[in-house]
Amino acid sequence: MRSPRQGNRGGLSRRAFISAGLGSLLSGIVLPGRLSAQVSPREPSDRMQAGVLVDLTRCIGCRACENACLTRRGQPSLRPALAGYGYGQGEDRLTFRTWTFVDSPRFVEGGSERTIPVKVQCLHCNEPACVAACPVAALQKTPRGAVIYRESRCIGCRYCMLACPFNIPRFEWESGLFARVGKCDFCDDRIASGLRPACVAACPTGALKFGRRAEVLDEAHGRMVADPGRYLSVYGDKVVGGTSWIYLSDVPMDRLGFRTDLPGEPLPSLTWKVVSKIPVVIVGVGLILAGGLWVRKAESPDGH
């Protein structure tokens, strides 16, 4: 016959085990539920989503796109547009206030040095990693395809900067206590009003073509087929699930500074694959800890 102490010890250990198991189970349900609101995959639609085709073979590096972007937001111009058709050498890179710039990567081809002007800005991913990473929904993807930033919600965590595979968002370090991030907003207000983005409207050579993303993709691949001797690379059609900005080039994209090591699958979907396993991990760890607690109580002389 077991003593009351022994019987009590057995009862307590079972309750401790059950409580710990239920606690871990609830944690496994509630925690991923909150995370999934941020990173669960969604189905993008090209029907309403805007896109821009950037034909680098037509870009002359005039930087009219840069000045149009700055003028639209009331910022001073970097330099007069079309001034000698000269572009910089990367000195005016993305900042909190500069949302696009024309880079000038140089490389050796056929024994001679070659420089190609490349417009750089947010690519507005179909499934943005920055949106999924933001814990307060300060970043949002609109039905028009633009990834916009809402300053009133930002807490300055800079998770968006860490999550972006293209290193686009810029933090205003001089803002003191007020956290702000700067990035291209795809002129979402202009698109909503039926206008083209400011940079596209300012381009004098047709290097930038605006339309629906599906149409832009068709145009890009159509140019590749029609003139295979001119075009070599398309970028943005598949990388990280696709982007709203599609690039055409006559040289490999990695030579121009584009990341070619990224997966074709959307990054939030990859995150979801990890997050979806959290319930199993949490419950398993919880049960192991509860089992250890049970054994320790059972082996304790006084049952505590």
Per-residue pLDDT tens digits for 99-157: 999 998 877 777 788 889 999 999 999 999 999 999 999 999 999 999 999 999 999 89
User: Burial, 144: exposed, middle or buried (Cβ in 10 Å; 0-12, 13-18, 19+)?
Assistant: middle
For residue 173, the model assigns a pLDDT of: 78
Report the greatest alpha carbon distance in the chain.
Answer: 101
Beta-bridge partner residues of 108? 113
CA-to-CA dists, residue 167 to 109, 121, 134, 295, angstroms: 27, 10, 15, 50
Residues in the chain predicted with pLDDT less than 50, given as ranges, are: 1-44, 81-91, 274-275, 278-282
Q: How far does CA 88 lie from the centroid of its chain? A: 27
- In 3D, which of 80, 125, 126, 73 has the Cα closest to residue 100? 73
E-state strands within 129-178: 139-141, 147-149, 170-171
CA distance 163 to 182: 15
Q: How many CB atoms lie within 10 A of CB 37?
A: 10
E-state strands within the chain: 50-55, 101-103, 106-109, 112-115, 118-120, 139-141, 147-149, 170-171, 181-182, 208-212, 233-235, 245-249
**CB neighbour list of residue 117: distance below 8 Å, 6 or more residues apart:** 56, 59, 60, 61, 87, 102, 103, 104
For residue 91, the model assigns a pLDDT of: 46
Please answer whether residues 185 and 149 qualify as being in contact, where contact means their C-beta atoms are separated by less than 8 angstroms: yes
Helix or strand (DSSP H, E) at 10 = helix 4-39
For residue 200, the model assigns a pLDDT of: 98
CA angle 263, 265, 266 (to 5 degrees): 110
pTM of the model: 0.73
